[in-house]
Structure 1
Protein backbone atom coordinates (compact mmCIF):
# COMPACT_ATOMS: atom_id res chain seq x y z
CA UNK A 1 0.00 0.00 0.00
CA UNK A 2 1.20 3.51 -0.83
CA UNK A 3 -0.06 6.83 0.44
CA UNK A 4 -0.69 9.77 -1.87
CA UNK A 5 -0.61 13.55 -1.59
CA UNK A 6 -4.40 13.69 -1.10
CA UNK A 7 -5.46 12.66 2.43
CA UNK A 8 -7.46 9.44 2.47
CA UNK A 9 -6.55 8.40 -1.08
CA UNK A 10 -4.71 5.06 -0.97
CA UNK A 11 -2.91 3.09 -3.67
CA UNK A 12 -2.91 -0.68 -3.15
CA UNK A 13 -0.06 -2.33 -5.07
CA UNK A 14 -0.46 -6.09 -5.51
CA UNK A 15 2.39 -8.44 -6.30
CA UNK A 16 1.29 -10.45 -9.35
CA UNK A 17 2.85 -13.85 -9.85
CA UNK A 18 4.04 -14.08 -13.45
CA UNK A 19 5.23 -17.13 -15.34
CA UNK A 20 5.13 -18.61 -18.86
CA UNK A 21 1.37 -19.11 -18.59
CA UNK A 22 0.69 -15.43 -17.85
CA UNK A 23 -0.04 -14.09 -14.38
CA UNK A 24 -2.14 -14.45 -11.25
CA UNK A 25 -3.03 -11.50 -9.03
CA UNK A 26 -5.42 -10.72 -6.23
CA UNK A 27 -8.08 -8.17 -7.19
CA UNK A 28 -9.35 -7.60 -3.65
CA UNK A 29 -8.06 -8.53 -0.22
CA UNK A 30 -10.40 -7.88 2.72
CA UNK A 31 -7.60 -8.28 5.26
CA UNK A 32 -5.37 -5.73 3.48
CA UNK A 33 -8.30 -3.32 3.18
CA UNK A 34 -9.07 -3.62 6.90
CA UNK A 35 -5.40 -3.15 7.82
CA UNK A 36 -5.60 0.27 6.15
CA UNK A 37 -8.83 1.40 7.77
CA UNK A 38 -11.36 0.32 5.16
CA UNK A 39 -14.38 -1.81 6.01
CA UNK A 40 -14.37 -4.58 3.38
CA UNK A 41 -18.07 -5.28 3.98
CA UNK A 42 -18.91 -1.65 3.11
CA UNK A 43 -18.31 -2.27 -0.59
CA UNK A 44 -21.74 -3.23 -1.89
CA UNK A 45 -21.52 -2.83 -5.66
CA UNK A 46 -19.03 -3.79 -8.36
CA UNK A 47 -19.22 -2.01 -11.73
CA UNK A 48 -17.15 -1.98 -14.90
CA UNK A 49 -16.77 0.36 -17.85
CA UNK A 50 -15.10 -0.18 -21.21
CA UNK A 51 -13.94 2.83 -23.21
CA UNK A 52 -11.89 3.52 -26.31
CA UNK A 53 -8.59 5.41 -26.58
CA UNK A 54 -8.88 9.13 -25.88
CA UNK A 55 -12.27 8.85 -24.16
CA UNK A 56 -12.60 10.92 -20.99
CA UNK A 57 -15.05 9.88 -18.28
CA UNK A 58 -15.54 12.40 -15.51
CA UNK A 59 -14.92 14.34 -13.41
CA UNK A 60 -17.67 12.68 -11.34
CA UNK A 61 -18.63 12.78 -7.69
CA UNK A 62 -21.60 12.55 -5.34
CA UNK A 63 -23.45 15.09 -3.18
CA UNK A 64 -24.35 14.28 0.40
CA UNK A 65 -22.25 11.58 2.03
CA UNK A 66 -20.39 10.98 -1.24
CA UNK A 67 -19.12 7.52 -2.01
CA UNK A 68 -15.92 5.62 -1.43
CA UNK A 69 -14.66 3.52 -4.28
CA UNK A 70 -11.83 1.19 -5.10
CA UNK A 71 -10.83 1.58 -8.75
CA UNK A 72 -8.58 -0.55 -10.95
CA UNK A 73 -7.92 -1.02 -14.65
CA UNK A 74 -8.32 -4.69 -15.51
CA UNK A 75 -7.37 -4.34 -19.18
CA UNK A 76 -5.46 -1.58 -20.95
CA UNK A 77 -4.30 1.64 -19.28
CA UNK A 78 -5.87 4.87 -18.06
CA UNK A 79 -4.68 8.30 -16.93
CA UNK A 80 -6.65 8.51 -13.69
CA UNK A 81 -7.36 11.82 -11.92
CA UNK A 82 -8.66 12.47 -8.41
CA UNK A 83 -9.67 15.99 -7.30
CA UNK A 84 -10.20 16.84 -3.64
CA UNK A 85 -13.68 18.40 -3.48
CA UNK A 86 -14.12 18.13 0.31
CA UNK A 87 -14.88 21.69 1.47
CA UNK A 88 -13.14 21.17 4.83
CA UNK A 89 -9.96 19.70 3.33
CA UNK A 90 -6.73 21.72 3.26
CA UNK A 91 -6.14 20.09 -0.15
CA UNK A 92 -9.48 21.36 -1.56
CA UNK A 93 -9.15 21.91 -5.30
CA UNK A 94 -5.90 19.99 -5.65
CA UNK A 95 -5.63 16.95 -7.87
CA UNK A 96 -3.36 13.98 -8.25
CA UNK A 97 -2.78 11.83 -11.31
CA UNK A 98 -2.19 8.07 -11.41
CA UNK A 99 -1.67 5.54 -14.18
CA UNK A 100 -3.78 2.45 -13.68
CA UNK A 101 -3.07 -0.46 -16.01
CA UNK A 102 -3.15 -4.20 -16.58
CA UNK A 103 0.57 -4.53 -15.94
CA UNK A 104 0.92 -3.29 -12.35
CA UNK A 105 -2.74 -3.89 -11.30
CA UNK A 106 -2.72 -1.04 -8.81
CA UNK A 107 -5.98 -0.36 -6.98
CA UNK A 108 -6.81 3.23 -6.10
CA UNK A 109 -9.03 3.88 -3.09
CA UNK A 110 -10.90 7.18 -3.49
CA UNK A 111 -12.68 8.33 -0.32
CA UNK A 112 -16.02 10.16 -0.27
CA UNK A 113 -15.90 13.81 -1.31
CA UNK A 114 -13.54 13.42 -4.23
CA UNK A 115 -14.11 13.93 -7.93
CA UNK A 116 -12.83 11.17 -10.18
CA UNK A 117 -12.18 10.87 -13.89
CA UNK A 118 -9.93 9.14 -16.36
CA UNK A 119 -8.74 9.11 -19.95
CA UNK A 120 -8.03 5.89 -21.84
CA UNK A 121 -4.42 5.61 -23.00
CA UNK A 122 -4.60 2.31 -24.89
CA UNK A 123 -6.78 1.13 -27.80
CA UNK A 124 -9.42 0.38 -25.16
CA UNK A 125 -9.52 -0.14 -21.42
CA UNK A 126 -11.75 -1.78 -18.83
CA UNK A 127 -12.06 0.05 -15.51
CA UNK A 128 -13.55 -1.75 -12.51
CA UNK A 129 -15.11 0.01 -9.53
CA UNK A 130 -15.94 -1.38 -6.09
CA UNK A 131 -18.38 1.13 -4.54
CA UNK A 132 -19.64 1.54 -0.98
CA UNK A 133 -23.12 2.99 -1.68
CA UNK A 134 -26.02 2.28 -4.00
CA UNK A 135 -26.19 4.67 -6.93
CA UNK A 136 -28.66 7.55 -6.54
CA UNK A 137 -28.70 9.66 -9.73
CA UNK A 138 -30.08 12.66 -7.80
CA UNK A 139 -26.74 12.90 -5.94
CA UNK A 140 -24.52 12.85 -9.06
CA UNK A 141 -22.27 15.82 -9.72
CA UNK A 142 -19.93 16.46 -12.60
CA UNK A 143 -17.24 19.09 -13.17
CA UNK A 144 -15.65 19.86 -16.54
CA UNK A 145 -12.55 17.79 -17.15
CA UNK A 146 -10.85 20.80 -18.78
CA UNK A 147 -11.78 23.50 -16.28
CA UNK A 148 -8.78 25.88 -16.28
CA UNK A 149 -9.11 26.46 -12.51
CA UNK A 150 -8.12 22.83 -11.90
CA UNK A 151 -5.18 22.81 -14.33
CA UNK A 152 -5.47 19.12 -15.17
CA UNK A 153 -3.27 18.07 -18.08
CA UNK A 154 -4.78 15.27 -20.13
CA UNK A 155 -2.21 13.32 -22.16
CA UNK A 156 -4.22 12.75 -25.36
CA UNK A 157 -6.70 14.71 -27.43
CA UNK A 158 -10.21 13.91 -26.20
CA UNK A 159 -11.91 11.64 -28.75
CA UNK A 160 -15.29 11.31 -27.05
CA UNK A 161 -17.24 12.01 -23.88
CA UNK A 162 -20.83 11.78 -22.75
CA UNK A 163 -23.37 14.59 -23.14
CA UNK A 164 -23.45 14.83 -19.36
CA UNK A 165 -19.69 15.39 -19.20
CA UNK A 166 -19.74 17.92 -22.05
CA UNK A 167 -22.36 19.91 -20.14
CA UNK A 168 -20.72 19.54 -16.71
CA UNK A 169 -20.52 22.41 -14.26
CA UNK A 170 -17.43 24.52 -13.77
CA UNK A 171 -15.21 24.20 -10.71
CA UNK A 172 -16.41 27.69 -9.71
CA UNK A 173 -20.03 26.51 -9.74
CA UNK A 174 -19.16 23.54 -7.55
CA UNK A 175 -17.30 25.84 -5.14
CA UNK A 176 -20.41 28.01 -4.82
CA UNK A 177 -22.55 24.93 -4.20
CA UNK A 178 -20.34 23.63 -1.38
CA UNK A 179 -19.79 27.04 0.19
CA UNK A 180 -16.14 27.64 -0.72
Structure 2
Protein backbone atom coordinates (compact mmCIF):
# COMPACT_ATOMS: atom_id res chain seq x y z
CA UNK A 1 0.00 0.00 0.00
CA UNK A 2 1.38 3.37 -1.04
CA UNK A 3 0.60 6.70 0.62
CA UNK A 4 0.44 9.96 -1.32
CA UNK A 5 0.39 13.43 0.17
CA UNK A 6 -1.91 16.05 -1.31
CA UNK A 7 -1.56 19.80 -1.47
CA UNK A 8 -3.61 20.13 1.74
CA UNK A 9 -1.44 19.24 4.73
CA UNK A 10 -2.61 16.05 6.42
CA UNK A 11 -4.94 14.97 3.62
CA UNK A 12 -3.50 11.64 2.47
CA UNK A 13 -4.39 9.12 -0.21
CA UNK A 14 -3.90 5.44 0.59
CA UNK A 15 -3.40 3.48 -2.62
CA UNK A 16 -3.54 -0.31 -2.22
CA UNK A 17 -2.28 -2.90 -4.68
CA UNK A 18 -5.17 -5.36 -5.08
CA UNK A 19 -4.52 -8.95 -6.10
CA UNK A 20 -6.78 -9.68 -9.06
CA UNK A 21 -7.58 -12.98 -10.76
CA UNK A 22 -10.49 -14.73 -12.46
CA UNK A 23 -12.43 -14.74 -9.18
CA UNK A 24 -12.25 -10.98 -8.68
CA UNK A 25 -9.82 -9.28 -6.31
CA UNK A 26 -8.49 -9.20 -2.76
CA UNK A 27 -7.15 -6.00 -1.24
CA UNK A 28 -6.17 -4.45 2.04
CA UNK A 29 -8.34 -1.46 2.87
CA UNK A 30 -6.21 -0.36 5.83
CA UNK A 31 -2.67 -1.19 6.99
CA UNK A 32 -1.84 -0.11 10.53
CA UNK A 33 1.93 -0.10 9.92
CA UNK A 34 1.77 1.94 6.72
CA UNK A 35 -0.70 4.39 8.26
CA UNK A 36 1.31 4.81 11.46
CA UNK A 37 4.33 5.79 9.37
CA UNK A 38 2.27 8.83 8.32
CA UNK A 39 0.90 9.68 11.76
CA UNK A 40 -2.43 7.90 11.33
CA UNK A 41 -3.32 5.43 14.09
CA UNK A 42 -6.24 3.00 13.85
CA UNK A 43 -6.96 3.26 17.58
CA UNK A 44 -8.00 6.89 17.08
CA UNK A 45 -11.00 5.85 14.98
CA UNK A 46 -14.01 5.00 17.09
CA UNK A 47 -16.91 4.66 14.65
CA UNK A 48 -17.47 3.15 11.21
CA UNK A 49 -20.36 4.35 9.06
CA UNK A 50 -21.65 3.77 5.54
CA UNK A 51 -23.89 5.72 3.18
CA UNK A 52 -25.57 4.67 -0.06
CA UNK A 53 -26.46 7.26 -2.70
CA UNK A 54 -27.80 7.16 -6.24
CA UNK A 55 -26.51 8.71 -9.46
CA UNK A 56 -25.87 12.44 -9.24
CA UNK A 57 -26.64 12.69 -5.53
CA UNK A 58 -24.49 15.34 -3.85
CA UNK A 59 -23.76 15.23 -0.12
CA UNK A 60 -21.93 18.14 1.48
CA UNK A 61 -20.10 20.14 2.30
CA UNK A 62 -20.12 18.75 5.84
CA UNK A 63 -17.96 19.30 8.90
CA UNK A 64 -18.21 19.46 12.66
CA UNK A 65 -17.79 22.03 15.41
CA UNK A 66 -15.95 21.36 18.65
CA UNK A 67 -12.55 20.69 17.14
CA UNK A 68 -13.72 18.89 14.03
CA UNK A 69 -13.86 15.26 13.08
CA UNK A 70 -11.15 13.21 11.37
CA UNK A 71 -12.13 10.60 8.79
CA UNK A 72 -10.80 7.91 6.52
CA UNK A 73 -13.15 7.53 3.55
CA UNK A 74 -13.34 4.84 0.89
CA UNK A 75 -15.88 3.60 -1.64
CA UNK A 76 -16.98 -0.02 -1.28
CA UNK A 77 -19.12 0.05 -4.42
CA UNK A 78 -19.45 2.58 -7.24
CA UNK A 79 -17.62 5.85 -7.78
CA UNK A 80 -17.70 9.37 -6.34
CA UNK A 81 -16.09 12.72 -7.02
CA UNK A 82 -14.91 13.67 -3.52
CA UNK A 83 -13.94 17.18 -2.41
CA UNK A 84 -12.08 18.21 0.76
CA UNK A 85 -12.06 21.91 1.74
CA UNK A 86 -9.47 23.21 4.20
CA UNK A 87 -11.37 24.80 7.09
CA UNK A 88 -8.41 25.38 9.42
CA UNK A 89 -8.14 29.09 10.25
CA UNK A 90 -4.38 28.94 10.76
CA UNK A 91 -3.74 27.07 7.51
CA UNK A 92 -2.05 28.74 4.53
CA UNK A 93 -4.47 26.77 2.34
CA UNK A 94 -7.65 27.90 4.17
CA UNK A 95 -10.53 27.79 1.70
CA UNK A 96 -8.64 25.76 -0.88
CA UNK A 97 -9.76 22.30 -1.86
CA UNK A 98 -8.63 19.05 -3.39
CA UNK A 99 -10.83 16.84 -5.53
CA UNK A 100 -10.29 13.17 -6.26
CA UNK A 101 -12.23 10.31 -7.80
CA UNK A 102 -12.61 7.41 -5.39
CA UNK A 103 -14.10 4.19 -6.70
CA UNK A 104 -14.33 0.43 -6.33
CA UNK A 105 -11.75 -0.16 -9.06
CA UNK A 106 -8.67 1.70 -7.78
CA UNK A 107 -9.78 1.25 -4.14
CA UNK A 108 -8.22 4.49 -2.96
CA UNK A 109 -9.07 5.76 0.48
CA UNK A 110 -8.52 9.29 1.72
CA UNK A 111 -7.57 10.47 5.19
CA UNK A 112 -9.21 13.77 6.12
CA UNK A 113 -7.92 15.49 9.28
CA UNK A 114 -10.10 17.43 11.68
CA UNK A 115 -11.57 20.83 10.80
CA UNK A 116 -12.00 20.04 7.13
CA UNK A 117 -15.23 20.04 5.13
CA UNK A 118 -16.07 17.07 2.94
CA UNK A 119 -18.54 16.58 0.12
CA UNK A 120 -19.01 14.11 -2.70
CA UNK A 121 -21.13 13.50 -5.78
CA UNK A 122 -21.97 10.06 -7.13
CA UNK A 123 -20.70 9.68 -10.69
CA UNK A 124 -21.87 6.11 -11.26
CA UNK A 125 -25.25 4.47 -10.84
CA UNK A 126 -24.95 4.05 -7.07
CA UNK A 127 -22.17 4.40 -4.50
CA UNK A 128 -21.59 2.93 -1.06
CA UNK A 129 -19.24 5.21 0.85
CA UNK A 130 -17.56 3.95 4.04
CA UNK A 131 -16.19 6.19 6.78
CA UNK A 132 -13.92 5.59 9.75
CA UNK A 133 -14.49 8.48 12.15
CA UNK A 134 -12.33 9.58 15.08
CA UNK A 135 -15.22 10.93 17.20
CA UNK A 136 -18.66 9.50 17.86
CA UNK A 137 -21.09 11.33 15.61
CA UNK A 138 -23.08 14.10 17.29
CA UNK A 139 -25.64 15.72 14.99
CA UNK A 140 -25.85 18.78 17.25
CA UNK A 141 -22.28 19.67 16.26
CA UNK A 142 -22.79 19.14 12.53
CA UNK A 143 -21.97 22.13 10.32
CA UNK A 144 -22.23 22.65 6.60
CA UNK A 145 -21.33 25.03 3.80
CA UNK A 146 -23.22 25.35 0.54
CA UNK A 147 -21.69 23.09 -2.10
CA UNK A 148 -21.96 25.78 -4.80
CA UNK A 149 -20.53 28.67 -2.77
CA UNK A 150 -18.76 30.99 -5.27
CA UNK A 151 -15.92 31.80 -2.86
CA UNK A 152 -14.88 28.14 -2.93
CA UNK A 153 -15.16 27.71 -6.70
CA UNK A 154 -15.76 23.96 -6.63
CA UNK A 155 -16.54 22.38 -9.99
CA UNK A 156 -18.82 19.38 -9.57
CA UNK A 157 -19.10 16.79 -12.37
CA UNK A 158 -22.79 17.54 -13.06
CA UNK A 159 -25.86 19.32 -11.75
CA UNK A 160 -26.96 17.43 -8.64
CA UNK A 161 -29.93 15.13 -9.10
CA UNK A 162 -30.68 15.24 -5.37
CA UNK A 163 -29.44 17.19 -2.35
CA UNK A 164 -30.84 17.15 1.16
CA UNK A 165 -33.03 19.99 2.41
CA UNK A 166 -30.21 20.90 4.79
CA UNK A 167 -27.59 21.05 2.05
CA UNK A 168 -29.84 23.09 -0.25
CA UNK A 169 -29.94 25.95 2.26
CA UNK A 170 -26.50 25.51 3.84
CA UNK A 171 -24.66 28.68 4.94
CA UNK A 172 -22.07 30.42 2.82
CA UNK A 173 -18.35 29.95 3.31
CA UNK A 174 -18.09 33.45 4.79
CA UNK A 175 -20.91 32.74 7.25
CA UNK A 176 -19.25 29.47 8.20
CA UNK A 177 -15.98 31.23 8.97
CA UNK A 178 -17.79 33.70 11.23
CA UNK A 179 -18.88 30.79 13.42
CA UNK A 180 -15.32 29.60 14.07
CA UNK A 181 -14.38 30.98 17.47
CA UNK A 182 -15.77 34.39 16.53
CA UNK A 183 -12.93 34.78 14.07
CA UNK A 184 -12.84 37.63 11.55
CA UNK A 185 -13.51 36.56 8.01
CA UNK A 186 -10.28 36.40 6.00
CA UNK A 187 -10.22 37.24 2.32
CA UNK A 188 -11.33 34.16 0.40
CA UNK A 189 -8.52 32.20 -1.17
CA UNK A 190 -10.74 29.70 -2.95
CA UNK A 191 -9.55 27.60 -5.83
CA UNK A 192 -8.74 23.99 -6.32
CA UNK A 193 -5.54 22.16 -5.59
CA UNK A 194 -6.28 19.16 -7.80
CA UNK A 195 -5.25 15.64 -6.97
CA UNK A 196 -4.54 13.38 -9.91
CA UNK A 197 -5.50 9.90 -8.71
CA UNK A 198 -3.99 8.10 -11.71
TM-score, shorter chain, exceeding 0.5: yes
Unaligned stretches of 5+ in structure 2? 186-198
Can you list the C-alpha shifts for 1:21-43, whole angstroms capped at 9, x where unaligned?
A: 10001112111111110121011
Moved over 2 A (4+): none
Paired residues for 1:151-162 under 5 Å: 151-162=153-164
Q: Normalization by structure 1: what TM-score?
A: 0.98
Aligned counterpart for 2:125 among listed residues 120, 123, 126: 123
When the two structures are aligned, how many residues end up with a matched partner?
A: 180
Secondary structure of 1:152's aligned partner: coil
1:8 aligned residue: 10
Secondary structure of 2:174's aligned partner: helix
Measure the CA separation in 1 of the matches of 2:89 and 2:176. 10
1:82 aligned residue: 84
Measure the CA separation in 1 of the matches of 2:146 and 2:93. 19
Secondary structure of 2:179's aligned partner: helix
Shift of 1:165: 0.7
Measure the CA separation in 2 of the matches of 1:136 and 1:7. 26
Paired residues for 1:160-171 under 5 Å: 160-171=162-173
Secondary structure of 2:84's aligned partner: strand
1:65 aligned residue: 67
Measure the CA separation in 2 of the matches of 1:88 and 1:114. 12
Can you list the C-alpha shifts for 1:110-129, whole angstroms capped at 9, x where unaligned?
A: 00010000000000011000
